[in-house]
């Protein structure tokens, strides 16, 4: 994947996913199919050759004169369909990019929480070792040792559960990336760290303007609406028949003598060439069903176009609100709060070893420290997911992958 020894970065993961994700690959194949549809729309029908046995034989060649409005709107609709399919591909890339980024940060969070669980287990193991030593000297009751053993067992279970979550997150990320053989030992490079990103959250109208102009699903819906209108125009010209032009040739026949087969003289003085012109007559079928279907197709496309814009508006507003609240929450843990809780644990352990506080007080300090660190890591995870959610909502990378913490 072109990554370093420490594992792929967020940018590496996204790049790999855009080349190997099955949904993206399928969307590319749909673009190829739409391009083929455009070629089909441009094509002319093959001429029809005919031979009428007789004396002499008659040879004919005819073809449809497909050069009218029906052809123009057919080609236009196919071209618009190709453009819409290309926007659909870009939209799929937009969705996959967000999903991969979110899964990447899910893995970073799982790794960080697993490290916290291991740290907590280490602390409980040290407390149990100290209590066991003090029990032998009679400096602590046996109940404290039993409590420490119980907490160590719980910590072991928490570590096992956290490591299972890490493995699941690794598999989930690789499945989104399109890795052929997912590996539970897959490692990535990155850390959960809060950094303020420059996004105009106080200007929702500008974000909505960007979304309406940049989101590929909005552009695709616009193109599909235009295509449905072209199809309606094409159907409107079905009553104008496509003429057929034909030419027939009947060679001259030279009768040599009675009882012998006649010989044909190509281009002889008696040869005949005739032009024919024909057209279908709309006698039974006036294409009312086709016109009704095309009209309904325009209405459906218009409804879908309006719905996509409504969805875009909702996405932008919700993403901006989520990022705003996530920013406020993540900032609360800045200013040394994490260091204070860590120092509180160290002080509590020192005091407990000297009998100044009870075991319950020590356990309370340990759990408070773990809870605050867990909340901080979760808040940072939610912050970056919300930031990239805003990227997805507006359809533009306001926060490139390189801006995330390494």
User: pLDDT tens digits for 152-189?
Assistant: 999 999 999 999 999 999 999 999 999 999 999 999 99
Burial (CB < 10 A; 0-12, 13-18, 19+), residue 384, is buried
Burial status of residue 206 (CB atoms within 10 A of its CB: 0-12, 13-18, 19 or more) = exposed
Q: pLDDT at position 130, please? A: 82
Can you name the residues that pair with 49 across neighbouring β-strands? 61
| Closest-CA residue to 45 (of 20, 66, 27) | 66
pTM above 0.75, yes or no: yes
Tokens 């453009």, residue?
A: 83
Any bridge partners for residue 386, and if so which? none
Q: How far apart are CA 274 and CA 370, in angstroms?
A: 96
Q: Measuring CA to CA, which residue among 389, 75, 403, 15 is closest to residue 234?
A: 75
For the chain, the structural domain boundaries read 10-125+152-243+279-403
Query: Mean pLDDT in each 10-residue stretch from start to end of the chain (406 residues)?
Result: 65 94 96 95 91 84 89 94 96 95 96 93 88 79 87 93 96 95 92 80 81 93 95 89 89 58 52 86 86 94 95 93 88 76 83 80 86 90 92 85 56
Neighbouring C-beta atoms of residue 89, cutoff 10 Å? 20
Predicted confidence at residue 81, as pLDDT, reads 95
Spell out the CATH class of 10-125+152-243+279-403: mainly alpha
221/215 Cα distance (integer angstroms): 10
Which residue is it, tokens 């819906």? 221
**Residues 380/194, Cβ–Cβ less than 8 Å:** yes
**What is the rounded distance in angstroms from the CA atom of residue 91 to the CA atom of residue 93?**
5
As given in the structure block, the two tokens for residue 87 are 């926007």
Residue whose entry in the numeric block shows the structure tokens 């409107």: 236
What is the predicted pLDDT for the residue at 306? 96
| DSSP conformation class of 403 | G
Burial of 180 (0-12, 13-18, 19+ CB in 10 A): exposed
Cα–Cα–Cα angle for 201, 205, 211, nearest 5°? 90
């Amino acid at each position: 994947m072109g990554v370093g020894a420490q594992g792929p970065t967020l940018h590496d993961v996204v790049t790999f996913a855009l080349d190997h994700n099955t949904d993206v690959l399928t969307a590319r194949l749909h673009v190829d199919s739409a391009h083929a549809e455009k070629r089909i729309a441009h094509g002319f029908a093959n001429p029809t050759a005919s031979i009428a046995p007789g004396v002499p034989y008659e040879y004919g060649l005819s073809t449809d004169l497909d050069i009218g409005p029906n052809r123009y709107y057919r080609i236009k609709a196919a071209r618009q369909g190709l453009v819409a399919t290309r926007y659909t591909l870009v939209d799929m890339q937009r969705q996959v990019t967000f999903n991969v980024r979110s899964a990447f940060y899910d893995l970073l969070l799982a790794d960080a929480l697993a490290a916290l669980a291991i740290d907590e287990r280490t602390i409980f193991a040290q407390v149990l070792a100290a209590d066991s030593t003090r029990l032998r000297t009679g400096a602590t009751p046996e109940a404290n040792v039993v409590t420490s053993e119980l907490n160590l067992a719980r910590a072991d279970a928490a570590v096992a559960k956290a490591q299972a979550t890490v493995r699941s997150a690794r598999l989930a990320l690789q499945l989104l990336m399109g890795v052929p053989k997912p590996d539970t030992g897959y490692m990535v490079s990155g850390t959960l760290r809060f950094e303020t990103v420059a996004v105009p959250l106080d200007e929702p109208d500008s974000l909505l303007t960007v979304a309406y102009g940049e989101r590929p699903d909005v552009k695709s819906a616009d193109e599909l609406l235009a295509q449905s209108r072209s199809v309606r125009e094409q159907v409107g010209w079905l009553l104008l028949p496509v003429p057929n032009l034909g030419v027939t040739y009947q060679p001259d026949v030279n009768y040599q003598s009675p009882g012998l087969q006649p010989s044909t003289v190509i281009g002889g003085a008696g040869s005949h060439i005739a032009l024919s012109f024909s057209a279908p007559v709309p006698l039974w079928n006036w294409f009312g069903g086709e016109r009704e279907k095309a009209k309904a197709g325009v209405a459906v496309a218009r409804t879908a176009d309006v719905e996509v814009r409504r969805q875009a508006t909702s996405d932008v507003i919700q993403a901006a609100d989520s990022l705003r609240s996530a920013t406020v929450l993540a900032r609360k843990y800045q200013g040394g709060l994490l260091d204070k809780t860590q120092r509180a644990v160290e002080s509590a352990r020192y005091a407990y070893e000297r009998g100044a506080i009870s075991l319950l007080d020590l356990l309370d300090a340990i759990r408070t420290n773990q809870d605050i660190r867990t909340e901080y890591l979760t808040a940072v995870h939610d912050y970056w997911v919300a930031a990239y959610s805003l990227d997805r909502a507006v359809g533009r990378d306001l926060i490139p992958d390189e801006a995330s913490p390494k």
